[in-house]
Amino acid sequence: MKVAITSVCFLFIAGSSVAQDLEPRAYIRVPVKVNVFTTGFSFSSGGVLTDPNLPLTNLKANVGVWSAGYVRSFSFFGLTAQALAALPFVWLKGSALVNGQEQTGSRSGLGDARLRMSVLLYGAPAYSVRNIPKEIKKTIIGSSLTITAPTGLNYPNKLINIGTRRWAFKPELALSQSLGKRQLLDFYTGVWFFTNNGSFYPGNSMRKQDPVVALQGHYSYTVKANLWVAADATYYVGGTSYVNDISKNDRLSNSRWGITAAIPAGKRSAFKLAFSSGIYIVTGTNFTTGSLGWSYSWF
């Protein structure tokens, strides 16, 4: 149960692109009626905001993101479920060549909010802290729906923005396989769908984007009851965008790797450390990210 509590805290890492998430143990079994407050800071450096639709080259940016979120586990028709809400605040500073001229700038403000609900469909019926099952299944199948809402700061007449001015939805299916008491394998398959942005740069353009298929794989090892480490990888493909129905030939086919560690900080709280970087980048978003998170849980 302690391992579960230190895992439920970290179901999001604020980043520049929803397709690049790395979320180990996102479908681990937890008791119902658990509440978790989580907060953290991430720092990214490199081509964080590169968008092939924009006349930007040689982009170099530093982006800091502070996030706060709340997680609640509950019974959903007898199945274990979780709901999450998170809101980031973003600072960014960068430079780029705009139509051949070097430009610098900075932004700060709210980012796009994230909502997520997951349900463990097989291998994890709902249970309370006082009714821990004697037999734990090694295989769990889960599903989730993640939504990002356009709450972020966005200037239609600016090239670089914090918010995207559109909604995004990702249904996902997951398999979590235990290898004994200490090792765990996770595999997720999801597809991001995007609504249109009718106020794209310079403010009166229509931007559309094809769906992005996102695959994740994680291997984690439990050192002791509430201390674990994980090796992470993701691959995402698709997402060709169109401005005023003209294709930008910017189809993604990128991969990233990362490492994650959860460290106890008392009976009810824990820290999380994470690092990720690009492996193979075809189009944009070649950057590295480090993050530190903290969580507090109660029943």
If you search the block for the tokens 């019974």, which residue do you land on? 75
pLDDT at 98: 67
Query: Which residues contact residue 101 at a Cβ distance below 8 angstroms, ignoring those fewer than 6 apart?
Result: none
Question: pLDDT tens digits, residue range 229-283?
Answer: 999 999 999 989 899 999 888 788 889 999 999 999 888 899 999 999 987 666 6
Question: pLDDT tens digits, residue range 98-139?
Answer: 667 777 778 899 999 999 999 999 998 998 888 777 767 789
pLDDT at 109: 93
Query: Which residues contact residue 266 at a Cβ distance below 8 angstroms, ignoring those fewer than 6 apart?
Result: none
Whether 60 shows a pLDDT value over 50: the answer reads yes
Answer positive or negative: Cα dihedral of 199, 201, 203, 206. Answer: negative
If you search the block for the tokens 């005023």, which residue do you land on? 244
Whether 146 shows a pLDDT value over 80: the answer reads yes
Number of domains in the chain: 1
Identity of the highest mean pLDDT range in 86-100, 199-213, 284-298: 199-213
Q: What angle do CA 22, 67, 252 make, to 5 degrees?
A: 40
DSSP secondary structure string for all residues of the chain: -HHHHHHHTTS----S-GGG---TTTT----SS-EEEEEEEEEEEESTT--TTSSEEEEEEEEEEEEEEEEEEEEETTEEEEEEEEEEEEEEEEEEEETTEEEEEEEEEE--EEEEEEEEEES-B---TTS--S---SEEEEEEEEEEES-S---TT-SS-SS-SS-EEEEEEEEEEEETTTEEEEEEEEEEEE--EEEETTTTEEEEE--EEEEEEEEEEEEETTEEEEEEEEEEEE--EEETTEE----EEEEEEEEEEEEE-SSSEEEEEEEEEEEE-SSS--EEEEEEEEEEEE-
Closest C-alpha to 124, from 116, 132, 114, 115: 132
The Cβ of residue 33 has, within 10 Å, a number of other Cβ atoms equal to 14
DSSP secondary structure string for all residues of 73-104: EEEETTEEEEEEEEEEEEEEEEEEEETTEEEE
Average model confidence (pLDDT) across the chain: 86
Beta strands 252-264 and 241-243: pairing type? unpaired
User: What is the domain-level CATH number for residue 45?
Assistant: 2.40.128.130
Identity of the highest mean pLDDT range in 83-97, 187-201, 238-252: 187-201
N-terminal to C-terminal alpha carbon distance within the chain? 12
Name the residue range of residue 9's domain. 2-298
